[in-house]
Amino acid sequence: MMRNVLFMTLGLCFGSMPLLAQKKSNPIILTVEGEQVTKADFELVYNKNNNVNSNIEQKSPQEYMELFVNYKLKVKEAEELGLDTIPKYQKELAGYVKQLSDPYLVDNEFAESLVKEAYDRLQEDVRASHILIKVAEDASPKDTLVAYNSINEILIKAKGGQDFGELAMEYSQDPSAKQNKGDLGYFSALRMVYPFESAAFNTAVGDISNPVRTSYGYHIIKVVDKREAVGQIRAAHIMVAVKPDADPTAQQNAKSKIDEIYSQVMNGSDFSQLARTYSDDRGSKSRGGELPWFGSGRMVPEFEKAAFSLTNDGEVSEPIRTQYGWHIIKRLERKNTGTYEEEYEGLKRKVERDRRGQGSKQSLVTKLMEEYSVKEYPKNLAVFNTMLDSNYFNGQFKFSIDQTKGFTKPLFVINDKKFKGEKTTVSQSEFATYLESKSRRQKAVSIPIYVQEQYKAFRMEKMLTYEESILKIKYPEYRALVQEYRDGILLFELMDQKIWKKAVNDSAGLEAYYHEHQSDFMWGDRVEASIYTCNSEENLNKVQELLKAGADDSTVIAETNVTSQLGVDIRTGKFSKKDVTALSDAKWEKGTHVSKEGFTIVVISEVLAPQPKTLDEARGLVTSAYQNQLEKDWLANLRTTYTFSVNQEVLETVKPL
C-alpha cells in the first residue's frame, strides 16, 4: 500500500528531465550535488502535480520547490547508498519496465478494433450450451485429430435431432455438464475465452456452431437465446450459509433463520444493519451486505435471476436458495452499458489482459517490418529443412560444430535509418540456437512446415526485442515513465529503511514519542455500557422487566431467544455516541435508557471523561505521527549533508498554468 501511495504522491515528479535538460536555452533553476535541473524540467513536474483538476492542494512555485528539493535529496541519498545496485531492486525495476513497454509492443490500431468489438458485443447477452472434448494446446497431431473427430461425431448427432442437453450429459468433458446439461446461462463479452465468445456471438439462436478450438479443447455451442444486455446491477444481500448436503436439521434452521430475517426486513428494519449482524458472507457483511457491480455471468444463475428480476431500486427479493445457502437480495442501483467513450478505458485494460490481444503483436511486427524495410533471405532459411532429423522430435537435437561454422548468412536485416541509424542483421546461427532450445519430445511433423512456423515465431521475438531496445529513443514519454518508476522504487526502498521500518521496529523511540505527545491522542466522551438490541417491542418490554429483576445477560438471552435467534443481541464495552446509533438518543448519564423506536435499551454503568488513549489503543496513529517526525528530522539532515542551490530569480519567473 505504501508503495502505491509513494508513486501517487511522487511519481509525477520523475519526468523526462534528461531530454529537456538538453535545451541550452533553459536556465538552471536547481543544482543538487552538481546535477542541474532546468526551469523547463521544473515547470513540467510542477504543472503536472499542481493541476487545478487534481485533488492535490495547489501550491505556489516556491512551496513546490521545497518538496522538489526534498525529492531530489532523497534520490541522491538512495544512489549514494547503492540501492540502485541491489539485485532485488534491479529485478523489480525490470518487471515494471516490462509492464511499461508492453503497450508499445502491440498494434494499437488492431487493439482498438478489439475494444470496439467488445463494446458492440456488450450490447447483447447470449445464452448458450456447449459440449467439450478436451485436448491440450500442445497436443500431438494424432491426439488433436482424435479429439476433432470425436466432437464432429457429436455434432452430427446434435444436428440430426438428438437432444443437446442429453448429449452434453453423456459426452461432454466439462465437469459441470452432469448437473447443468452444458447450459452456461447468459453471458456477454469478455466472460468467455475469445474463440468461444466469437462463435457464440456469430451463431444464430437455435443453431449449433461448427467445432471451436480453445485452450481447453474442442467445443460445439448451441445458442439458446439472445437478448438485449441487462446491464449491471449493484445489490446488497444477506446470506445464511448452509451446504447443499447439510443434514435436515441444519437445512431447517437455516431456512427458519432467513425467514425471520426476511420478516424483519419486511417490517421496516434496516437492511444494512441486519446484514452486518446476521449475514454469513464475510466479504460483504461489514459493508452492510453491499456487493460490487455485476452483470451477466458473474453470479450463480439463481442469484443473478433474482437480482435482475427486481424492478426498482430499494426493492427486496424473497429468500432464494443457491449452492451457498439462502439469500435475501436488495437492489441498490442498476445501469446500462455506458457510451463507448465512458467504457473505453476499462474495456481497453480487459482486452489487453485477454488472450485476444495477442494478435496485435503479430500485426505490429508486420508494420515494423515495413517501417524498417526488413529484407528477408528465404534461401538462407531453406537450408534448415535438410538439417533437422528425427532426434529433433525426441528432444536430443544439437547442431554439429561443422554445421554451425557455416551459419553466418543473414535470415533478415533490419534497416533502421531513423532511430539507430544502422542495419541490424539476424543470422542463421541465432535461429539455430533458437531451434535447439525448442527441441523436445513431440510428434514428428513435416520438417519444412515446422521450420517455417518456428521461423515466424523467432522473427516476431527478434522484431519485438529490437523495438523494445529503441523505445527510449523512439518514444520520449516512455523514457520519462521508466525514469519515474526507477526513482519511485528507489525512494520506496529508502523510505522503508529510514522511516517506515524504523518507526515500527523502534519500540523505545515510539514509546518515548507517545509519552511526549500523549495529549495528541485522546479519547472523547465515552460510556461504559451494555446495549440490548431487540427485534420487537414485545421483546423490548421482556428484556426491560428482566433487567429490572436483576437478571444477568446469559439469563436475558435464554429467556428472550426462545423461539427466535433474533430476539435480543447484547454488546458490552466502551462506546462513544458515534460508535452506536442508539447512544445518539440516550442521555449521557448513568442509568437505563430505552429507545422504543429502535427497540434498544442502553444501560450506562459509567460515564468516562476524556482521557489519553493507551499506546496500544492509538498505536496506528502514534506510529504514523512518529514516522512523520522521523522524516522531518531526516530531511533536515539531508539538507546539511548534500549541497544544493535554488536560483531564486529563475524560480520567480515560473507561473502556474
pLDDT, tens digit, for every residue of 46-103? 887 776 555 566 788 999 999 999 999 999 999 999 998 999 889 999 888 988 898 8
Domains detected in the chain: 1-80+475-520+618-657 (1.10.4030), 124-228 (3.10.50.40), 238-335 (3.10.50.40), 372-472 (no CATH), 525-609 (3.10.50.40)
Backbone angles phi, psi at 627, to 5 degrees: -60, -40
* CA atoms of 441 and 391, how far apart (whole Å): 9
DSSP labels, 3-47: HHHHHHHHGGGS--HHHHTT-TTSPEEEEETTEEEEHHHHHHHHH
Quote the Cα angle for 349-351-354, to 5°: 110
Q: In the sheet where 644-646 sits, what is the strand order?
A: 35-38, 28-32, 644-646
- Other CB atoms within 10 Å distance of the CB of residue 471: 19
Under the banding of pLDDT at 50, 70 and 90, the label for residue 478 is: confident
Backbone angles phi, psi at 508, to 5 degrees: -65, -45
* CA atoms of 561 and 542, how far apart (whole Å): 11
Under the banding of pLDDT at 50, 70 and 90, the label for residue 136 is: confident
* CA atoms of 151 and 210, how far apart (whole Å): 9
The pLDDT assigned to 353 comes to 81
The pLDDT assigned to 13 comes to 38
Q: 528-546 in b/e burial notation, b at 16+ Cβ within 10 A?
A: ebbbbbbbeeebbebbeeb
pTM of the model: 0.52
Query: Is the predicted pLDDT of residue 471 greater than 90, yes or no?
Result: yes
- Other CB atoms within 10 Å distance of the CB of residue 352: 16
The pLDDT assigned to 8 comes to 36
What is the three-state SS of 120-154? HHCCEEEEEEEEEEECCCCCCHHHHHHHHHHHHHH
pLDDT, tens digit, for every residue of 631-651? 999 999 999 999 999 999 999
Strands 28-32 vs 611-612: parallel, antiparallel or unpaired? unpaired
Higher pLDDT, 350 or 464: 464
Under the banding of pLDDT at 50, 70 and 90, the label for residue 23 is: very low
Q: Which of 215, 260, 222, 257 is nearest to 240 (CA)?
A: 257
Query: Is the predicted pLDDT of residue 195 greater than 70, yes or no?
Result: yes
Quote the Cα angle for 605-611-614, to 5°: 100
Backbone angles phi, psi at 133, to 5 degrees: -115, 115
113-to-100, 194, 337, 358, 438 alpha-carbon distances in Å: 22, 14, 18, 13, 33
Q: Which of 523, 521, 522, 557 is nearest to 542 (CA)?
A: 557
To the nearest 10°, report the CA torsion of 443, 446, 452, 454: 10
pLDDT, tens digit, for every residue of 321-373? 999 999 999 999 999 888 999 999 999 888 888 888 778 888 999 999 999 99
- Other CB atoms within 10 Å distance of the CB of residue 353: 10
Query: Is the predicted pLDDT of residue 543 greater than 80, yes or no?
Result: yes
* CA atoms of 191 and 124, how far apart (whole Å): 12
- Other CB atoms within 10 Å distance of the CB of residue 378: 10
Task: Enter the C-alpha cell of residue 22.
Answer: 538538453
* CA atoms of 95 and 403, how far apart (whole Å): 37
DSSP 8-state symbol, 434: H
pLDDT, tens digit, for every residue of 138-192? 676 688 889 999 999 999 999 999 999 999 999 999 998 998 899 998 999 998 9
DSSP 8-state symbol, 358: G
* CA atoms of 511 and 447, how far apart (whole Å): 74
Q: Under a CB-based contact definition with an 8 Å cutoff, are residues 302 and 217 in contact?
A: no
CB neighbour list of residue 113: distance below 8 Å, 6 or more residues apart: none
Query: Is the predicted pLDDT of residue 15 greater than 60, yes or no?
Result: no
One-letter amino acid at 404 equals: T
Query: Is the predicted pLDDT of residue 108 greater than 80, yes or no?
Result: yes
Query: Is the predicted pLDDT of residue 443 greater than 80, yes or no?
Result: no
The pLDDT assigned to 524 comes to 86
Task: Enter the C-alpha cell of residue 449.
Answer: 512446415
CB neighbour list of residue 518: distance below 8 Å, 6 or more residues apart: 612
Query: Is the predicted pLDDT of residue 22 greater than 50, yes or no?
Result: no
Mean pLDDT of 458-470: 95
Task: Enter the C-alpha cell of residue 168.
Answer: 452434453
Query: Is the predicted pLDDT of residue 1 greater than 70, yes or no?
Result: no
Under the banding of pLDDT at 50, 70 and 90, the label for residue 222 is: very high
The pLDDT assigned to 138 comes to 67
Mean pLDDT of 304-321: 95
To the nearest 10°, report the CA torsion of 638, 639, 645, 650: 100
Query: Is the predicted pLDDT of residue 458 greater than 60, yes or no?
Result: yes
The pLDDT assigned to 55 comes to 57
Query: Is the predicted pLDDT of residue 6 greater than 60, yes or no?
Result: no
Q: Positive or negative, the Cα torsion across 213, 216, 218, 219?
A: negative
* CA atoms of 234 and 117, how far apart (whole Å): 25
223-to-121, 196, 206, 226, 418 alpha-carbon distances in Å: 15, 12, 6, 8, 52
Task: Enter the C-alpha cell of residue 489.
Answer: 522504487
512-to-518, 610, 622, 623, 632 alpha-carbon distances in Å: 10, 22, 11, 12, 17
pLDDT, tens digit, for every residue of 551-594? 999 999 999 998 888 899 999 999 987 777 766 766 788 989 88
Q: Under a CB-based contact definition with an 8 Å cutoff, are residues 396 and 439 in contact?
A: yes
Q: Under a CB-based contact definition with an 8 Å cutoff, are residues 240 and 566 in contact?
A: no
The pLDDT assigned to 509 comes to 92
Which residues is 423 bridged to in the sheet?
Answer: 415
* CA atoms of 310 and 331, how far apart (whole Å): 7
* CA atoms of 284 and 279, how far apart (whole Å): 8
Q: Which of 27-41, 133-147, 150-164, 214-228 has the lowest mean pLDDT?
A: 133-147
Under the banding of pLDDT at 50, 70 and 90, the label for residue 19 is: very low
CB neighbour list of residue 260: distance below 8 Å, 6 or more residues apart: 564, 565, 566
Which residues is 416 bridged to in the sheet?
Answer: 422
* CA atoms of 618 and 615, how far apart (whole Å): 5
DSSP 8-state symbol, 195: H
One-letter amino acid at 604 equals: I
Mean pLDDT of 16-27: 48
The pLDDT assigned to 248 comes to 93
* CA atoms of 626 and 598, how far apart (whole Å): 42
Which residues is 425 bridged to in the sheet?
Answer: 413
Instruction: Please compute Rg for the chain using Cα positions.
Output: 34
DSSP 8-state symbol, 497: I
The pLDDT assigned to 53 comes to 55
Give start and end residues of each alpha helix (H) in 401-552. Answer: 401-405, 428-438, 447-469, 471-474, 476-495, 501-505, 507-516, 537-548
Mean of the per-residue pLDDT values of the chain: 88
If you search the block for the grid coordinates 533553476, which residue do you land on?
29
Mean pLDDT of 224-241: 94
Q: Under a CB-based contact definition with an 8 Å cutoff, are residues 10 and 488 in contact?
A: yes
Mean pLDDT of 402-421: 91
Query: Is the predicted pLDDT of residue 476 greater than 80, yes or no?
Result: no
Q: Under a CB-based contact definition with an 8 Å cutoff, are residues 36 and 22 in contact?
A: no
The pLDDT assigned to 538 comes to 92
The pLDDT assigned to 586 comes to 66
